Amino acid sequence: MAPVAAVVGALSRPAPSASRPSTSSRRAQQIRCVATGPARSAAAHQAAAPAPSAPAPSVAATRRVPRSIEEVDNGAILGFAAELSEDHPGFYDAAYKQRRVDICNLARGHRIGEPIPRIEYLPEEVTTWGLVLGQLEALFPQHACKEFLHSLSLFDFRQDEVPQLEDLSRVLQRHTGFRIRPVAGLLHPRDFLNGLAFRTFHSTQYMRHASKPNYTPEPDVVHELIGHVPMLADPAFADLVHAIGVASLGADEQQLKHLVKLYWYTVEFGVVLEGGQPKAFGAGILSSYGELQHMAAGQAELLPLDVFSPLPRISYKDGYQPRYFVLQSFEEGAAQLKAYCRSMVHNIPDDVRAAVQLPLP
């Protein structure tokens, strides 16, 4: 069986980082000893932060910052969409590619405020969904974080039915105010992160190819619904995600690259300690049978997350993650991210701050 890809949503391939974190490996036991005091102040971290500390041109002066989710473009698709690369499992399947075109066109035609179009999933698509869900459900009790397990119960996922985005979005809105907006593929990272500032998660609706149910080189509805949606129903995690989104509104290009990495190492591949044991909360782990087993086997490095320190280059085509960054709690992670966010809020216009409920200075 092909290795299960670590699927990531809405992330482009950032330029390789010139700086890397400490090369010293720290296991979970050591992480428990790492100082977990209050996040260092943004000012104290300016020198260490990958973002330039020198005064930069106002972001608002160089591009328009969206004032609402309606102003966030969901049409800048970076890759995949209907034009699959030759190594995609569906590349030689004309019917599969047409199916994706049809579903992607529904996403392109969706307008904020309208119900998300419902998809009548084909029998083979339901089979793929059920197979992956069944495999993962066997691992979740032991290796998923408690917040995920609690939120998963809110959605009543069944193996014989692919959930509809509209129904899940309504549940999310009740619990954390997040909503789902359909998207036609891998969205430009600035647009994707900007959407999070308005508590909106852009989600694909198409299914991975049936020939490889445990592999997809791109975000698909299995990854979005199993990996992302339950965690977005947890209030503390939702605040963490929202903080990354708010920061993106004021980020220049260098800062955005760092935010993409922060998103990757938390929302996609983060783990959190429970009783000294690492538990998965990242969607790239929770939606991948192989990645979840890899994390549970303890073969990867576990490192403490410092949002102000340079982060390793992202790689998603080299197999499973060689390292995971560990949070002590989502509250602690959100506090760190909010501290980082404060280093760039001066770039966010006052009316936008009000729109995303960011306290004025």
The amino acid sitting at 260 is V
Q: Interface with Fe ion includes 231 (CB under 5 A)?
A: no
Displacement of CA 116 from its chain's centroid (Å) = 20
Nearer to Fe ion, 7 or 352 (CB): 7
# residues contacting Fe ion (CB under 5 A)? 3
Q: Is 223 a catalytic residue?
A: yes
Give Cα separations from 43 to 37, 46, 47, 48 (angstroms).
17, 5, 8, 10
Q: Is 288 a catalytic residue?
A: no
Question: E-assigned strands of the chain?
Answer: 77-79, 179-182, 186-187, 200-203, 271-274, 277-280, 301-304, 323-327
In contact, 332 and 239? CB cutoff 8 Å? no
Q: Interface with Fe ion includes 244 (CB under 5 A)?
A: no
Measured from the CB of residue 284, what is the shortest distance to Fe ion in angstroms?
6
Measured from the CB of residue 32, what is the shortest distance to Fe ion in angstroms?
28
Residue of closest CB approach to Fe ion: 9
Q: Interface with Fe ion includes 9 (CB under 5 A)?
A: yes
* Residue 349, both tokens: 């216009």
> What is the DSSP secondary-structure string of 275-300?
TTEEEE--HHHHT-HHHHHHHHTT-S
Of the residues 202, 209, 228, 242, only one is catalytic, namely 228
Measured from the CB of residue 236, what is the shortest distance to Fe ion in angstroms?
19
Nearer to Fe ion, 268 or 352 (CB): 268
Segment near Fe ion (CB under 5 A); pick from 25-33, 86-94, 105-113, 277-285 = 277-285
* Residue 354, both tokens: 């009000």
Give the angle 37-42-47 at the CA atoms, nearest 5°.
110
Could you tell me whether strands 77-79 and 186-187 are parallel, antiparallel, or unpaired per DSSP bridges?
A: antiparallel
Segment near Fe ion (CB under 5 A); pick from 8-16, 71-79, 144-152, 304-312 = 8-16
Residues 155-174 that bind Fe ion (CB under 5 A): none
Segment near Fe ion (CB under 5 A); pick from 7-15, 65-73, 79-87, 119-127 = 7-15
Measured from the CB of residue 182, what is the shortest distance to Fe ion in angstroms?
15
Q: How many CB atoms lie within 10 A of CB 330?
A: 23
Measured from the CB of residue 223, what is the shortest distance to Fe ion in angstroms?
6
* Residue 343, both tokens: 């280093």
Q: Is 86 a catalytic residue?
A: no
Measured from the CB of residue 43, what is the shortest distance to Fe ion in angstroms?
32
Beta-carbon contacts of residue 255 (< 8 Å; ≥ 6 apart): 50, 51, 247, 344
Of the residues 125, 147, 224, 268, only one is catalytic, namely 268
Q: Is 287 a catalytic residue?
A: yes
Of the residues 151, 248, 287, 343, only one is catalytic, namely 287
Give the angle 40-281-231 at the CA atoms, nearest 5°.
100
Segment near Fe ion (CB under 5 A); pick from 2-10, 87-95, 163-171, 210-218 = 2-10
Instruction: Return d(Cα 222, Cα 216) in angstroms, integer.
Output: 10
Nearer to Fe ion, 45 or 242 (CB): 242
**SS3 annotation, 248-263:** HHHCCHHHHHHHHHHH
Measured from the CB of residue 227, what is the shortest distance to Fe ion in angstroms?
6
Of the residues 45, 223, 242, 258, only one is catalytic, namely 223
Nearer to Fe ion, 103 or 183 (CB): 183
Residues 281-300 that bind Fe ion (CB under 5 A): 283
322: left (phi over 0), alpha (psi -120 to 50) or beta: alpha
Segment near Fe ion (CB under 5 A); pick from 3-11, 136-144, 196-204, 295-303 = 3-11
Where does this chain bind Fe ion (CB under 5 A)? 8-9, 283
Q: Which residues are designated catalytic?
A: 223, 228, 268, 287
